[in-house]
Amino acid sequence: MHASVVGLKVLHAVKVVVLMFPSHLSCILQALDKDPFLKTKMYARMSLRAKLLTLPRNSKFNLANLMKVINQGTFHGLSSVNIVNGFNKTRTWPI
């Protein structure tokens, strides 16, 4: 993705943490495959299963439900602790 100063300021204002890696260092992202992304998937699956149990019979799984599942997965899985643990396990560190 291309980041702009205006976009980064907006994200900073709403307290979104942005990790930026140069394109030629994409292999360093493998550290994030270890803890954060696996835990994000796990929490999203748990949230999805819980959400499906609460939906009324014959109702549809809509965009709002999907956003809640994504929110739960990313809130728990992409914590700073999990990101640091991912880099710890692979012994690589971002610039």
Q: What is residue 25's predicted lDDT score, i.e. its pLDDT? A: 60
70 by Cβ neighbours in 10 Å (0-12 / 13-18 / 19+) ranks as middle
Write out pLDDT tens, residues 10-58. Answer: 888 998 888 776 666 656 567 777 678 888 888 889 988 988 888 888 8
CB atoms within 10 A of CB 73: 21
Q: What is residue 26's predicted lDDT score, i.e. its pLDDT? A: 59
85 by Cβ neighbours in 10 Å (0-12 / 13-18 / 19+) ranks as middle
Residue 2 has pLDDT above 60, yes or no: yes
Q: What is residue 95's predicted lDDT score, i.e. its pLDDT? A: 56
Report how far apart, in Å, the C-alpha atoms of 32 and of each of 51, 57, 76, 87 are: 27, 38, 14, 7
Boundaries of every domain in the chain: 26-90
Q: What is residue 30's predicted lDDT score, i.e. its pLDDT? A: 74
pLDDT bucket at 1, cuts 50 / 70 / 90: low
